[in-house]
């Protein structure tokens, strides 16, 4: 597979609790028939088996180009085919949609301009462009198509995501995580300081007793520690009876990584769900690490790569310049320069990672080659990263 034709981005589609539900394939102007070819290639990379429960959303500008035998190429039950309302008026297209639906594919009707338009009778889900506002026609149409997991796309900020949720949309995509409410600064400065101090202690391999003292000062942090140790991800069969035991079961390396995640997890209330920044930070951290591993990085380099990805969104989290947030962490110069200037190999990797879950128009495939990676390498890294995001969303 050549980089010029075979590389695209995969945008996360989340539910109201910010758990990963689907990946929206964005390959720019690449015809849908070729996008399906890429997905066949990714099926060989086990994208569907490794991303349990996650669907792939494909936008088909010309549905006639979807191969009639797609059911023999891909697991249709894992696909969402996005078709414009205008395209769905065509009788030939309708015949194909019925065929695809009969084999398990879910059809999403897109580009609906007015709720009273006649739409394909088999429509159960709609998708609306919410880049500027929530379309007035969307809510009446969703009521008419009651029960569907309708998708609000291109949400630019948290305020519109909240409006989309209230309007009845169930699935959400866009950059809303990166534009939280203006009052999103960490409300509990003491908790933030405690977490940063814990990270510092773990980084310098402090004694467990020092870590225990800080955990004991924060009931929420203590609860999350024990919940983590008891999660399916660690499959512990031992009943945990002390902070020291919990810390030892995790190990310092895992503890450090999950403390980094907890920086995002505990920021104010999110209606019982995750902070939208958490899965995006988790994706960056896991993809940075996977890229570093592909390039032959050692254990310390992998930890640095993971940290760069995880800390790259702290400015959004705390509402302060990144240089101010990072100051108490005493990071090494390579990590700091990557975060603040995108310099060095870590910085170049971060540049690629920041684009990997965003629209294709902002992507730069040349960065993959500059990092010495192939298309195969890149996709394996992306699949690995999203698999970890999926796990995190379930465990936290």
Whether residue 167 sits in one domain with residue 19: yes
Whether residue 82 sits in one domain with residue 19: yes
Whether residue 234 sits in one domain with residue 126: no
| pTM, 2 dp | 0.88
CA pair distance 252, 231, nearest whole angstrom? 17
Pick the last residue of a domain from 150, 178, 206.
178
Contact (CB, 8 A) for 20 and 53: no
In a domain, 272, yes or no: no
Whether residue 163 sits in one domain with residue 38: yes
Q: What angle do CA 298, 299, 302 make, to 5 degrees?
A: 85
In a domain, 183, yes or no: no
Residue 271, helix vs strand vs coil = coil
- Residue ranges of E strands in 265-333: none
In a domain, 310, yes or no: yes
In a domain, 312, yes or no: yes
Contact (CB, 8 A) for 290 and 265: no
Quickly list H helices, 51-124.
91-102
In a domain, 366, yes or no: yes
In a domain, 239, yes or no: yes
Q: For 200-250, give the DSSP string.
A: HHHHTT--HHHHHHHHHT-HHHHHHHHHHHTSTTTT--SPP-SHHHHHHHH
Q: What is the 3-state secondary structure of 107-162?
A: EEEECCCCCCCCCCCCCCEEEEECCCCCCCCHHHHHHHCCCCCCEEEEECCHHHHH
Whether residue 151 sits in one domain with residue 94: yes
CA pair distance 173, 127, nearest whole angstrom? 10
Whether residue 330 sits in one domain with residue 216: no
Whether residue 295 sits in one domain with residue 246: no
Q: Which residues, listed in sequence order, are joined to residue 57 by a DSSP beta bridge? A: 24, 80
Domain count, the chain: 3
Contact (CB, 8 A) for 58 and 25: yes
Whether residue 299 sits in one domain with residue 251: no
Which tokens hold the place of 354? 């920041």
- Whose tokens are 């920041």? That residue is 354
Q: Identify the domain containing residue 250 by its residue range.
A: 189-265
Whether residue 27 sits in one domain with residue 161: yes
Whether residue 146 sits in one domain with residue 15: yes
Whether residue 84 sits in one domain with residue 164: yes
Pick the last residue of a domain from 157, 178, 199.
178
Q: Which residues contact 301 (CB under 8 A, 6 or more apart)?
A: 292
The domain spanning residue 92 has which CATH number? 3.20.20.450
Give the residue among 133, 88, 130, 81 at the shortest CA–CA distance from 108.
81
In a domain, 270, yes or no: no
Whether residue 327 sits in one domain with residue 295: yes
Backbone angles phi, psi at 232, to 5 degrees: -60, -25
Q: Which residues, listed in sequence order, are joined to residue 125 by a DSSP beta bridge? A: 108
In a domain, 271, yes or no: no
Pick the last residue of a domain from 178, 203, 221.
178
Number of other CB atoms surrounding residue 369 within 10 Å: 12
The per-residue pLDDT string of the chain (396 residues; one tens digit each, 9 = 90 and over) reads 554 458 999 999 999 999 999 999 999 999 999 999 999 999 998 999 999 999 999 999 899 999 999 999 999 999 999 999 889 888 999 999 999 999 999 999 998 876 556 678 888 899 999 999 999 888 888 888 877 899 999 999 999 999 999 999 999 999 999 998 876 554 455 666 777 788 878 877 788 888 888 877 776 677 777 777 766 555 555 666 667 777 787 788 888 887 888 778 754 455 667 889 989 999 999 999 999 999 999 988 998 899 899 989 988 988 889 998 887 777 889 999 999 999 999 999 999 999 999 999 999 999 999 999 999 999 999 999 999 999 888 776
What radius of gyration, in Å, describes the C-alpha atoms of the chain? Answer: 22
């Amino acid at each position: 597979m050549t980089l010029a034709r075979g590389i695209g981005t995969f945008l996360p589609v989340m539910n109201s609790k910010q758990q990963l539900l689907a990946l929206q394939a964005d390959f720019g102007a690449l015809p849908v028939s070729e996008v399906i070819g890429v997905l066949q290639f990714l099926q060989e990379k086990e994208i569907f088996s490794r991303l349990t429960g996650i669907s792939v959303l494909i936008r088909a500008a010309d549905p006639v180009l979807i191969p009639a035998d797609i059911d023999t190429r891909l697991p249709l039950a894992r696909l969402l085919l996005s078709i414009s309302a205008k395209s769905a008026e065509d009788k030939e297209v309708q015949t194909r949609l019925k065929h695809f639906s009969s084999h398990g594919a879910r059809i999403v009707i897109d580009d609906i301009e007015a709720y009273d338009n006649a739409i394909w009778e088999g429509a159960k889900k709609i998708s609306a462009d919410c880049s500027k506002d929530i379309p007035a026609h969307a809510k009446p149409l969703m009521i008419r198509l009651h029960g569907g997991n309708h998708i609000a796309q291109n949400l630019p900020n948290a305020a519109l995501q909240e409006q989309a949720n209230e309007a009845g949309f169930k699935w959400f995509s866009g950059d809303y995580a990166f534009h939280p409410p203006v009052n999103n600064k960490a409300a509990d400065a003491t908790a933030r300081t405690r977490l940063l101090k814990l990270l510092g202690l773990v980084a310098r391999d402090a004694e467990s007793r020092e870590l225990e003292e800080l955990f004991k000062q924060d009931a929420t942090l203590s609860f999350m520690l024990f919940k983590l140790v008891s999660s399916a991800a660690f499959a512990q069969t031992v009943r945990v009876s002390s902070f020291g035991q919990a810390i030892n079961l995790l190990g310092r390396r895992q503890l450090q990584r999950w403390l980094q995640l907890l920086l995002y997890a505990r920021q104010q209330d999110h209606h019982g769900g995750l902070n939208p920044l958490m899965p995006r930070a988790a994706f960056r951290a896991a993809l940075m690490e996977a890229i570093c591993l592909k390039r032959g990085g050692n254990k310390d380099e992998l930890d640095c790569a993971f940290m760069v990805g995880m800390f790259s969104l702290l400015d959004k989290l705390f509402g302060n310049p990144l240089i101010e947030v990072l100051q108490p962490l005493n990071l090494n110069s390579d990590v700091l320069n990557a975060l603040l200037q995108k310099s060095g190999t870590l910085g170049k990797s971060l540049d690629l990672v920041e684009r990997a879950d965003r629209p294709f128009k902002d992507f730069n495939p040349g960065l993959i080659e500059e990092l010495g990676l192939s298309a195969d390498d890149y996709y394996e890294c992306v699949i690995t990263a999203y698999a970890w995001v999926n796990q995190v969303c379930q465990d936290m």
